[in-house]
Chains A and B, each alone.
Chain A
Amino acid sequence: MIEINHVTKSFSTSKKAVDNLNLTIPAGKIFGFLGPNGAGKSTTIKMMTGILPIDEGSITINGFDITKHPIEAKKIFGYVPDSPDLFLRLKGIEYLNFIGDVYDVPSDVRQEKIAYLTKTFGIYDALNDTIQTYSHGMRQKIIVSGVLLHEPKVWILDEPLTGLDPKSSYSLKEMMREHAQKGYTVFFSTHVLEVVEQLCDEVAIINEGTLLFHGTLEEMRTKFTSDGSLEQMFLELTNHE
């Protein structure tokens, strides 16, 4: 479970990137964080993961405050950043081994899972190449494999489906579902309404740093038809892609 309490963040004096955000993300569900480009999704996620300091408010992950108990909190979640251009000079296999070491994955588990995951994603044959040579989608996949390797209880993914081909996109969605069924937390952001409709149990909509809506898919649909400003938003989100 993730709790976001009255969180505010601004990069400039005039405008708040995230404004007094309150959100509880329950375990056992897939939670979608929907909003157009520049809405404040990545900023929120970076505060959740300890990359950005929080101006006001607090965030806890399974009860651990990310600011006060960073190590405990960080052991619990796995994070897929919006741009997968990390560790470019490592080979795929070196990266996965590094993650295995950092999160104490036993080597027999590692053997088995690396093969399974990378074969599922179709990057097994590229493991001996440097990540530099990977395409955008392959980079995304190696990072997702790293997260899956240490089986964190909480997944935090920033626009994970952008740039994936249909097959990989399908497998990732399946994995997210499985994870939620095990009673774990899955939190991901997207700017595409269809993704939310296919995948989510619960959804929160954010625009210009403010939370516009939080509820189930059903509730979202009724709200869209009744609320004029949300309908505008709806159009914006469907026009993408």
Chain B
Amino acid sequence: MNKTFLLSKMILTLSFSELFKDTRAKRNAFFVFLGFLPLIVIWLYILSSIISSSIYILAPSDNEPIILGILFVLTAIITVLFSIPSVISSYYFADDMENYLTMPFHPYQLVIGKSLAPLLITYMVNLAILAPTMIFYGMATGSGILYVCLSIFIFILFPIIPFIVAALIVMLGMRYVNIAKNKDRSKVYAGIFSLVFIIGFNIIIRLNTNSNQMSQEIGSWLNQQEQLVWQVTKLFPSAYVATNTLTSSTWWMMILFLILFIVLTALALYLFITIGQRMYFKGMLGINKGGKGKKKQHIEKRIGSNPTLVTLTKKELKTIVRTPNFFMNCIVQSLFLPVFFVAMIAFDDSIGSIASFIQSSNEVNVLLTTFSITVFMLGINLTATSSISRDGQWWFTNLYIPIEPKTVIYSKVITAWIIEGISIILLGGIFLYLGVPTIPLLMWGILVTMVSWISGTLGTIIDLHYPALNWTDEQEIFKMRYIPLLSFLIQIFVFGAAILAIWRLPYFTGVWQTFLAMSVVLVIAIYLGNHLLKKAIQKHYFHML
């Protein structure tokens, strides 16, 4: 146990040490948090009103525990889904494993050590869903001190079982991915698998629920479906027991259920440790290093010359495609939203209603809506905010090669722009399929091409200011950094304000006026962005190492 603790502490120190490195980093993290505050307030407001109105409807028939039941089920599902990707990368793709392999650790100790960082992320997610739900529920039903104590216990214990379920799925799955024996390719397969899993899950859930009914009053819907809801809850024993812990009618029943819950968690832990001990290395060692030999290529054919900017851009693109972590975070994740979108509408009867919405609403609204969706999608793209950091300790090579700093940096902006272009094209196809008329679609295309350039510039500027070059594992560029959040927030607020202004101001009634106004705004933004980028290059390019 002692060794396990030691190892866990070490792994945690190493994975979180970048986050709060100095006071500047702390201050920035604080500002990012401030930026999210409004979003948090809105979320809490929505959640509390859903809960209190549902309780109002459900209380007369004594059905209000259903609310907790359903939220526990949801939390469990979300925890499993969120944990799978982070567990995969922490267990199998962090390159620090090799350091520990030669030391006398049991597989189960490594598994526990490697679980803590992703488990902590799980608690963050639960802090957003589970904690406010239990608080609002407790306030609305006027619960006492016992409820408070029990809910603290439940909050601490609840994420463990879903997390273990995710970890077991990953470990079992990895045994088979391991057949590929190629570390790089397996990483990509595993990443795509987890996305497909999430989307597939979404489809299954959607096939089984009727969204039209769902969107009516949630409370009365729940009331009608009482039986069903309880059955679903029983499928997730931990959700069932947790609900009963908090809502049983007598205090000794509550305590009894809590004990049951603790026993369940302990059992899950035992299972986790036993299976981890036997399975972890099986996947791990197989995946460790690899690269089946490729047949010899004609080297001569591959020698040719290109302008520097083209060469650099090609180099960036190739690096992204060939490095699994980059590929997953920059390309696959940027395709995720459009694909998710397709999955949602393709398996839903709402497609007719979307099409009729598009037909019935005016072109300005269609343009603004498609534009907003795209801004959101581009905002979460990670290519630009990792422009500089991706070079890592090799950044110094940029300093001694005889190429203008500007050229190097613009090759990175262009790279981000090209990658964002892929998801724009995909989204354009979806909009076309949904029946967005030609003129607004073309306008949309022109506008978002500019937006994607701005987003590329902005991300690169921010990454120039706060690069993370000292990583030992590529994953660190994307996880545990607030830079992408910062870029996302800036884009959402700036473009959000512009959209809101254009939408609300009386001058822009026709689609052409709207288009022109937005183009002007975007051209100015591009000009400003380029100016800021050049300043940032001057200030930081040679002063990063």
Contacts and interface: CB of A to CB of B under 8 A. Distances in A.
Interface stretch (A98-106, A167-175, A185-193): A98-106
Contact of B104 (A86, A90, A103): A103
Given A85-B472, A89-B470, A132-B470, A51 B104 contact: no
Contacts of A71: 104-106
Contact of B14 (A15, A74, A85, A89): A89
Interface in A71-89: 71-72, 74-75, 77, 79, 85-89
Contacts of A79: 102
A11 B104 contact: no
Nearest to A46: B289
Given A11-B290, A15-B293, A101 B103 contact: no
Interface in B364-391: none
Secondary structure at the B interface, as helix, strand, loop or mixed, is loop
Interface string B85-106: 0000000000010110111111
Nearest to B99: A86
A13 B1 CA distance: 42
Interface in A1-25: 11-15
B348 interface: no
A90 B288 CA distance: 24
Interface residues of A, number: 28
Contacts of A70: 104
A93 to B, nearest CB: 13
A15 B296 CA distance: 13
Given A11-B291, A12-B293, A51 B6 contact: no
Secondary structure at the A interface, as helix, strand, loop or mixed, is loop
A74 B14 CA distance: 23
B18 to A, nearest CB: 7
Interface in B461-498: 470, 472
B286 interface: yes
Nearest to B17: A89
A51 B472 contact: no
A26 interface: no
A202 to B, nearest CB: 23
A51 B288 contact: yes
Interface in A124-163: 132
Contacts of A103: 103-104
Q: Which of A11, A49, A132: most chain B Cβ within 10 A? A: A11
A204 B194 CA distance: 47
A13 B292 contact: yes
A195 interface: no
Contact of A13 (B10, B102, B290, B293): B293
B106 A49 contact: no
B13 interface: yes
B287 to A, nearest CB: 10
B22 to A, nearest CB: 13
A83 to B, nearest CB: 10
A11 B181 CA distance: 9
A53 interface: yes
A160 to B, nearest CB: 15
Interface string B392-429: 00000000000000000000000000000000000000
A49 B101 contact: yes
Contacts of A13: 292-293
A209 to B, nearest CB: 13
A132 B105 CA distance: 25
Interface in A49-71: 49-53, 70-71
Contacts of B102: 49-51, 74, 77, 79
A88 B472 contact: yes
B3 interface: yes
A14 B293 contact: yes
A70 B285 CA distance: 13
A89 B96 CA distance: 12
A12 B18 CA distance: 37
B15 to A, nearest CB: 9
A52 B288 contact: yes
A89 B468 CA distance: 13
A70 to B, nearest CB: 8
Contact of A102 (B6, B18, B289, B470): B6
Nearest to B293: A12
Contacts of A102: 3, 6-7, 103-105
B101 A89 contact: no
A111 to B, nearest CB: 18
A50 B106 contact: no
B13 A74 contact: no
A88 B101 contact: no
Given A71-B106, A74-B102, A98 B291 contact: no
B200 to A, nearest CB: 32
Contacts of A51: 98, 101-102, 288-289
B289 A12 contact: no
A53 B286 contact: yes
Nearest to A88: B472
A11 B293 contact: yes
A219 to B, nearest CB: 32
B99 A87 contact: yes
B289 A52 contact: yes
Nearest to B291: A11
Contacts of B99: 86-87
Contacts of B292: 11-13
A103 B100 CA distance: 12
A90 B286 contact: no
23 contacts: A11-B289, A12-B292, A12-B294, A14-B293, A50-B102, A51-B101, A53-B286, A70-B104, A74-B103, A75-B104, A86-B99, A87-B99, A89-B13, A89-B14, A89-B17, A89-B472, A90-B13, A90-B14, A98-B10, A101-B3, A101-B6, A102-B6, A103-B104
Interface of B: 3, 6-7, 10, 13-14, 17-18, 96, 98-99, 101-106, 285-286, 288-294, 470, 472
Given A86-B96, A88-B472, 17 more contacts: A11-B292, A12-B292, A12-B293, A13-B292, A14-B293, A50-B102, A51-B102, A72-B104, A74-B105, A85-B472, A86-B99, A89-B18, A89-B472, A98-B6, A98-B10, A102-B6, A102-B104
Interface of A: 11-15, 49-53, 70-72, 74-75, 77, 79, 85-90, 98, 101-103, 132
Q: Which 6 A-B pairs have the closest CB atoms?
A: A12-B293, A74-B104, A53-B285, A49-B102, A75-B104, A79-B102
